Structure 1
Amino acid sequence: MTASRVLIYLLRRDLRLADNPVFHRLTSTSDHGFTHLLPVVVLPPDQIETSGFLKSDQTSPFPLAKSIVGKFWRCGPHRAKFFAEAVWDLKNTLSSHQSGLIIRIGPPADVVCAIIQHLQSSGEAAVAAVWMTDDVPSEEKRQQDDISAVCNSANVDFTLIPDEKYYIDDRDVDIATQELPDVFTTYRKSQEPLREKPRAVYPNMKSSLPPLPPDTLIPPQAVPFQIPDDLDTFQKCLSKPLVFDLPNPPVNPEDVKSAHPFLGGEQSAIDRLRHLVKSGAASSYSDTRNGLLGVDFSTKLSAFLCLGCLTARQIHSELVKLEDGTDEKYQDAPGYGQGENNGTKSIRLELLWRDYMRLCTKKFGTKLFAATGFREVDGYNKKWKTANSATASSDQHPSPQKIGEIIQRFLQGNTGMGLIDASQRELFATGYTSNRARQNVASFFAKHLDIDWRYGAEWYECMLVDYDVSSNWANWQYVAGVGNDPRGDARIFNPVKQAFDYDKQGDYVRTWVSEVRGFDNAENVFQAWTATPEELEKLNLTNNVMVTDPLKKIDFTVDRKPKSQRRPFARGRGSSNGRGGRRGGGSNSFGRGGMSMHTQAHMVPVPMDGMVPGGLPSSPSMYGTGGMGYDQQGYAWSPSPMGIPPHLHHGAPSPHHWGGNAGAPVVSSGWVSGGPPMFNEYNSMHGNLPQPAMHYRGRGNGRGNYLGRMPQGRGGYMPN
């Protein structure tokens, strides 16, 4: 009797049937040479805590699956639930196609070795090949190397299948890994036009999949673990050990619904995608993407993309159907048959950013997890504050113990900074928080508190339902100033200004920080310590730590109504403390206590030839003195050497600004239509201005600032 030839397909982040290169290959031809297919989902005990699957009175042979720096669970309850649902959805889908999958616990190479040995010892079957989708993070590459070694020793073919869930197929990028541009804008331009780049999705299966091997040939789960047969029990086993050693953890307000209410799985992903197109949410995405509350302000597709329940080119395909008017189910949707619009274009740009983060991981490898990040520039000497006394600098202030307490308050959402606290509480309760909030949280932690950014990245790894290795770690690097942001650690978000811009009435903060719901003024909602003693007493907040000991105080005054989301720029002049120059008049001061907030200014441009700072053209390099400033987008301004045009530094005290003829310290702004890499990343953790070139038009107004406006750049912590 001829022994059966079994193909093992190791599933990791490709939990879908449609547009799957492995399933497509097996169903598009009958001469693949395999009699049986065994899809396997492995729970690696170093990435997912598996002690909940132990048999009674058994102990785990593996250490707890916790992170290195912060000792957080590597897969928290929200992602564990979503993952379980996605696995079971695929299991049921495969069962309907006369196939199925098995779940095993252990190092992937050990699991593969056990299956190979069991089948070979049966005499009735043999493993002919092991296939898995290629991945680029360092841990996943080690898994692949270990499995390859097992297969080689057993004389079993091992094949890595290209990962095709990204927007542009790696084989179509035409850029060598080590030549990948370190600035996203440069990469984007090399790939345009984006609408033409994705490959077509694979057609529906033409034939059935090879069947599962008989149950008698499939080895059981190795002791001391056991795998349940139903989703509910499987889910409970995943979540059971995930207890948090966090005093006073955030509590989900009873009247608040999650902005991410979706089940995991391929079918849920397809339903969500079609809803976005039908409802018009895709077409309006560019207008709503900076929202904070609700379900449809962003796509919420990232969690599905992370696990491979959906591919980026499937998203592109549905957008094309809308734009070209080729699918009648979308005929009532806004934008049907009208070509690419701002919303669909923005979605493609986010998908490309996701590609880029993965390619950066491929290029930089383990630097993804290093405190020094991708840059590792010569002379980099920033010493992050840490709660680890063994690695803390001898002159660190506050002490490691105090930093530990600060980190704890950060995790609790009890910092006293309304936008940050709301985001942290939402994250803890739901596993989701918006792109805009993520940017501010990361900046607050790394730039305002100066704490090792890896604590934040690991916390997001634990809590996010849409955690993706590359997107999470590379974006935290970007904001911390050690990634591929051209401006490095010069970028700082002002979370108070950002709150006024994107949570105008404080609805988001009130939703998640119930203690401040009673305040009438948004200023008090965003920073409770700014309220009067009478207001604090009325809300029983007089002795609340958010009032008595906020982790950060930002002195900020709003001089006018915050800008709307539909006009994401501010008109008008910059202002700062200091004196006006000759023929320049006085400058307005909106700061208190010597801290000036430039509430209407944007960026200090490097002028074109012939353009000089305002005031008299005869003195182009006169500077005034000013305090710390924050621009309209919430960035801080910092110094530049005298006589040298100042650049956007974001975040240090600012003694030099473009000013009037005798040194008025007034920030300037300009008309912009794109720009060089230095400015193309404006107001974007990763982004670009889609226009091809930058120029500035302005005139001195007597205070030394250029008149004009600055379009908002594309922001985005993690496509979501």
Structure 2
Amino acid sequence: MSHAKTNTLIYVLRRDLRVSDNPILHHLATSSDHGFTHLLPVYVFPAQQIEVSGFIRDGGKSPYPEAKSRVGGYWRCGPHRARFIGEAVGDVKRSLASLGSGLVVRVGMPADVVGDLVEGLLEKQHGVGAVWMTDHEGFEEKQDEKAVASVCEKHGVGFKLWLDEKYFIDDRDLSFENPQGLPAVFTIYRKSAEPLRERPRAVLPTPPKGSLPPFPDASVIPAQSAPFSIPERPKDVVEALVKPVKNFLPTHPGFPKGAVSAHPFRGGEAAGQKRLKHLVGSEGMKDYKDTRNGLIGTEFSTKLSAYLAQGCITARQIHHALVGYEDGTDSRFAKAAGFGAGENEGTGAIRFELLWRDYMRLHNRKFGNRLFRLEGIWKARDCKDYEEKRPGWKSPARERALPDQDPDPNTVARIIERFVAGTTGMGLIDASQRELMHTGYTSNRARQNVASFLAKHLGIDWRYGAEWYEMLLVDYDVSSNWANWQYVSGVGNDPRGEMRIFNPVKQAFDYDRDGSYVRSWVPEVRKLERLECVFQACTASEKELKAAGLEGNIMVTDPVKRIQFTVDGTPLRSLRRAFFRKRGIMLNAAAAARLKATSTPAPGGQGHDSDSSSGNTIADGGTSTSGNGSGDGNGNGHPEVIVPRFPRSLREIGLPGKVSASAPASIHGDGHINRTPPRAPAAHQRSGEPAVRRSNPRGGRGGGGGSNVVWVRRDQLQQLSQTASQQSQQQRHQRGGHGSGSWRGGGRLSRGRRNAPPVSDGGGQGGHQGRLHMSPSPRPATIQSDA
């Protein structure tokens, strides 16, 4: 319906805070028949997602409940993102003004605000022709869209939902129309989208000044409804957003002296474009694949994710900047290394991450509010036996906790308090949580470890972590955050599910190799010299603790989790293993304890593959068995247990799932079982017999024939099966003979009889003295895609 001679279009901005590559503004600037006499852009701080009590006039009371999360009761938007969004809103307001338009800022529920605007304009005989807004994924976002459409229908005003074009591949170019057609595995989706460099559509130009319909006169624009009041100055808007949420913890460690934020960037389109230009014009894009797992500084990753999340820039803008650099057509980047040399590993990796963001958004569209369920998308997969597949999560809420939950809800609540405050005693986790608390940012690598630690190591309801990230992340995106938390927690679309576990101590050795990151954010451990102690303070000696002033510190006296992992000195190279580690299968300690194994002791040998302080000795023996007996770093042997075969089904040890019995396996001291893929059979092997690894990168003990064998310490497995022991003895009598052979490092392997049973002669010797072999942790997708 329109009144008099005016026909106003209300454009509701949400996460499209930009004037360039904006489909709505581009249409209005280039179309001569849209029929609108005025354009009224409006941005609404949504009361259900952002706390708006800072805008209340003195003595007023908000009509909306506090914007807190459902499970943990955290603020939905903390101070870091509130500031970033406020800055971005101020920036787009200035940009619109430079084009001859403007922006109205409001707080409340979007439908309420739109209703007030429509009614107020109509009362002043100012016609309203339509309300336009951009489509966004998310359960609440869809509810807002329906509510706004209902308001428009009530008042006889047109409503249009525009396609969100800030992503890498346009929805109109997907190979499927129904979201249920989204492949369950990212790799399949990625292959369907290749070649990635050819897929994005062209960037839409910024509208010229004066090309948009004029902004309505201020006298006809309805004021913000009571009890709220919107400040005129942008910095006062930011302050009103930050004020009610800045004290989100009653007590927490202060900002460490000397620590520096890795994300000191302002919000807004101008800042996002400046950052993009800097990255492409420097080494940032070229070296991205090598630096993306860094932990310290502004340059180890692009830091564009926050701008992408709020729509300050678009993925295709990033892509086309890369094309200009790769093809040598954009003179802004002429001095950058690799200019005009085509796509390189870094730029290709960035496109990969941009596609992952697309996939997470489509994943959100496919599963909707299942993204927020404790069971994740399992029930969406028609897994009727979910409760069997995933044991009950620990919860601090008595109404959610299982009757026999151990530890009890009160203890779990205290653990969560320490987890969010960064006082768990696990160096990498604490450093990441404190960095996030103080800056709103933490690296992709740290996010993966934090999520795995809470969900896999502690077994606590993963939604507490996801909601904590929702509050504090400056680059929070509903799709990326929740889908990735599900992924790492084992209830998402990761094919390996709960079997993928990160070891935060090993990860710290891999990615914080001198301990500078942990020391930067956890100053309590700065005086500790040994990295083992920096990454787990509880491993320090009394003398070391006294020298560091850590005596009585809760991180030492009562760490939330202890992981048995030690290394003899600072590693000079990465401890990560090669590609085949992605095939690992890992179980928690409780599952390993139920493993049905024989109790045949192995004589102590002269091995040097363990550290005496760890009690965590593993031989990566595969199919080989001779030359064993674990050492303590001093040549003293320990009795061990022979496991004659890997369980053919995880159900044999009380967990669901299946594994192949054809690959060598190793059970690690923290309960992990790592399984490596078999190599091609040697010429002397019979068909179907598992291949023997010719070398041992961890200096494992010698090899020989026999069936799949794993060496583990006797005290690391309990409840040994007498039945399995008897079966093993029967097999020995039936087969007869013995196998022998050895290798050292990558030495030549000689074998005895192919069918020989496991026999230990204590003759082998490990190749790495004092270095503990731990199961690797392959890289899953990013927790918050930081493209």
Shorter-chain TM-score range: 0.7 to 0.9
| Aligned equivalent of 1:719 | 785
Aligned residue number for residue 379 of structure 1:
385
Counterpart of 1:279, as a letter, is S
2:424 counterpart (412, 415, 418): 415
Q: Aligned partners of 2:564, 2:232: CA distance in 1, in Å?
A: 57
Identity of aligned residues (%): 52
Distance in 2, matches of 1:554 and 1:613, equals 27
Deviations 1:669-719 (A, max 9, x none): xxxxxxxxxxxxxxxxxxxxxxxxxxxxx9995699xx9x99975753222
Q: Which amino acid aligns with 1:130?
A: V
- In 1, Cα distance between the equivalents of 2:294 and 2:195? 28
Indicate which of 16, 31, 34 corresponds to 2:33.
31
What is the Cα deviation at residue 569 of structure 1? 4.5
Which amino acid letter does the alignment assign opposite residue 333 of structure 1? A
Q: How does 1:357-506 map to 2 (within 5 A)?
A: 357-376=360-379, 377-381=383-387, 382-506=391-515
Matched with 1:235 is: 238
Cα pair 1:596 1:627 within 8 Å, conserved: no
In the TM superposition, residue 560 of structure 1 has moved relative to its aligned partner by 7.3
Please give the secondary structure, in 2, of the residue aligned with 1:4: coil
Q: Contact 1:258/1:430 (CA < 8 Å) preserved in 2?
A: yes
Residue 108 of structure 1: aligned partner: 110
Q: How far is the alpha carbon of 1:375 from its aligned partner?
A: 2.1
| Gap change, CA 1:614 and 1:321, over 3 Å in 2 | farther
For the structure 1 residues 299 and 648, does the alpha-carbon distance in structure 2 shift closer, same or farther, using more than 3 Å as the test? Answer: farther
Q: Which residue of 1 aligns with 2:88?
A: 86
The one-letter amino acid of 2:145's match is Q
* Matched-pair contact (CA < 8 Å) for 2:185–2:495: yes
CA distance in 1, matches of 2:645, 2:528: 30
- What is the aligned partner in structure 2 of residue 625 from structure 1? 643
> 2:75·2:248 contact (CA, 8 Å) conserved in 1?
no
Contact map agreement 2:57 2:227 (CA 8 A) in 1: yes
After TM superposition, give the deviation of residue 204 of structure 1 in Å. Answer: 3.4
Cα deviation, residue 642, structure 1: 8.8
- CA distance 1:63–1:666, shift in 2 (3 Å): same
Equivalent residue for 1:539, pick from 541, 548, 557: 548
What is the aligned partner in structure 2 of residue 631 from structure 1? none
Among 280, 292, 297, the alignment partner of 1:289 is 292
- Correspondent of 1:324 among 304, 313, 327: 327
Could you tell me how far apart the structure 2 residues matched to 1:467 and 1:25 are? Answer: 29
CA distance in 1, matches of 2:146, 2:642: 60
State the distance in 1 between where 2:161 and 2:665 align.
46
Take 1:284 and 1:497, find their aligned partners in 2: how far apart are those partners?
24
* Alpha-carbon separation, structure 2, partners of 1:561 and 1:10: 55
The CA deviation at 1:246 is 2.9
Report how far residue 19 of structure 1 moved.
0.3
**CA separation in 2, counterparts of 1:413 and 1:710?**
25
Q: Which residue of 1 aligns with 2:710?
A: 665
Query: Does residue 1:192 correspond to 2:210, yes or no?
Result: no
Count of residue pairs the alignment pairs up: 659
Q: Distance in 2 between matches of 1:527 and 1:47?
A: 37
1:653 is the counterpart of 2:719: no
CA contact (8 A) 1:626 1:655 kept: no
Whole-Å Cα distance in 2 between the matches of residues 227 and 208 of structure 1?
28
Q: Structure 1 CA distance, aligned partners of 2:518 and 2:108?
A: 42
Is 1:639–1:652's contact at 8 Å kept on the other side of the alignment?
A: no
Hey, what does 1:619 align to over in structure 2?
none
With over 3 angstroms needed to count, the CA separation of the structure-2 counterparts of 1:657 and 1:478, relative to structure 1, is closer
Distance 1:28 1:572 in 2: 54
Structure 2 vs 1, CA of residues 450 and 626 (structure 1 numbering), >3 Å: closer, same or farther? farther
Against the structure 1 CA distance between its residues 245 and 214, is the aligned structure 2 distance closer, same or farther, given a 3 Å change threshold? closer
Per the TM alignment, residue 590 of structure 1 is displaced from its structure 2 partner at its CA by 5.3
Q: CA deviation at 1:6?
A: 0.5
Alignment counterpart, residue 98 of structure 1, candidates 83, 90, 100? 100
For residue 561 of structure 1, report the CA deviation from its aligned partner: 5.5
Verify the 8 A CA contact 2:46 2:110 in the aligned structure 1.
yes
Measure how far apart 1:585 and its partner are.
11
Matched, 1:60 2:105: no
CA contact (8 A) 2:19 2:207 kept: no
Contact between 1:74 and 1:462, CA under 8 Å: does it hold in 2? yes
State the match for 2:566 in structure 1.
Answer: 557
Structure 1 residue 444: deviation in Å?
0.4
C-alpha distance in 2 between matches for 1:640 and 1:700 = 33
How far apart are 1:640 and its partner, in Å? 6.6
Aligned-pair CA distance for 1:400: 0.7
Quote the Cα distance in structure 2 between the aligned partners of 1:343 and 1:641. Answer: 36
Question: What amino acid sits opposite 1:199 in the alignment?
Answer: R
CA distance in 2, matches of 1:403, 1:263: 37
The whole-number CA distance in structure 1 between the counterparts of 2:196 and 2:579 is 32
Which residue number in structure 1 is paired with residue 170 of structure 2? Answer: 169
Could you tell me how far 1:212 is from its partner in structure 2? 1.0
Aligned mates of 1:223, 1:368 — CA distance in 2: 35
Higher mean Cα deviation, 233-242 or 77-86? 233-242
Q: Which residue of 2 aligns with 1:528?
A: 537
Q: In the alignment, which residue of structure 1 is the partner of 2:731? A: none
CA drift of 1:251 comes to 1.3
Which whole-Å CA distance do the structure 2 matches of 1:333 and 1:626 have between them? 58
Q: Which amino acid aligns with 1:297?
A: F
Please state whether the residue corresponding to 1:241 is helix, strand or coil. helix
User: How many Å apart are 1:664 and its aligned residue?
Assistant: 3.8
In structure 1, what is the Cα distance between the partners aligned to 2:315 and 2:266? 19
Task: Could you tell me which runs of 5 or more consecutive residues in structure 2 were left unpaired when the two chains were aligned.
Answer: 585-591, 627-640, 647-654, 677-691, 693-702, 713-745, 752-757, 759-766, 768-774
Distance in 1 (CA, whole Å) between partners of 2:248 and 2:86 is 24
Distance in 2 (alpha carbons) for counterparts of 1:309 and 1:650: 47
> What's the secondary structure of 1:40's corresponding residue?
strand
> 1:615–1:199: structure 2 CA closer, same or farther, 3 Å change rule?
farther
The answer as to whether partners of 2:68 and 2:74 remain within 8 angstroms in 1 is yes
Q: Distance in 2 between matches of 1:77 and 1:146?
A: 28
Q: What is the Cα deviation at residue 378 of structure 1?
A: 2.0
**Equivalent-residue separation in structure 2 for 1:651 and 1:226 (angstroms):** 60
Distance 1:647 1:41, change over 3 A: farther
Q: 1:84-133 CA deviation, whole Å, 9 max, x = no partner? A: 0000000011111111101111111111111111111112x211011000
Deviation at 1:516, TM superposition (A): 0.4
Pick which of 235-244 and 23-32 moved more.
235-244
Stretch moving more, 555-564 or 334-343: 555-564
Separation in 2, partners of 1:48, 1:394: 36
Question: What letter matches 1:717 in structure 2?
Answer: I
Aligned-partner SS, 1:240 = helix
CA displacement at 1:292 relative to structure 2: 0.1
User: CA shift at 1:257, angstroms?
Assistant: 1.7
**Counterpart of 1:402 in structure 2: which amino acid?**
T
Question: TM (normalized to structure 2)?
Answer: 0.78
Task: Report how far residue 250 of structure 1 moved.
Answer: 2.5
1:466-494: per-residue Cα shift (whole Å, max 9, x none)? Answer: 00000000000001000000001111100
Cα deviation 1:280-316 (Å, max 9, x = unaligned) = 1100000100000000000000000000000000000
Residue type of the partner of 1:9? Y
Give matches, 1:633-648, under 5 Å: 643=661, 645=663
Distance 2:239 2:555 in 1: 35
Residue type of the partner of 1:414? T
CA distance in 1, matches of 2:412, 2:645: 27
Q: Tell me, in whole angstroms, the C-alpha distance in 1 between the residues paired with 2:364 and 2:747.
A: 44
Paired position in structure 2 for 1:152: 153
Residue type at the aligned position of 2:259: V
User: How far apart in 1 are the matches of 2:7 and 2:373?
Assistant: 44
Aligned to 1:181: 183
Q: Is the contact between residue 555 and residue 591 of structure 1 (CA under 8 Å) also seen in structure 2? A: no
Contact 1:585 1:702 in 2 (8 A): no
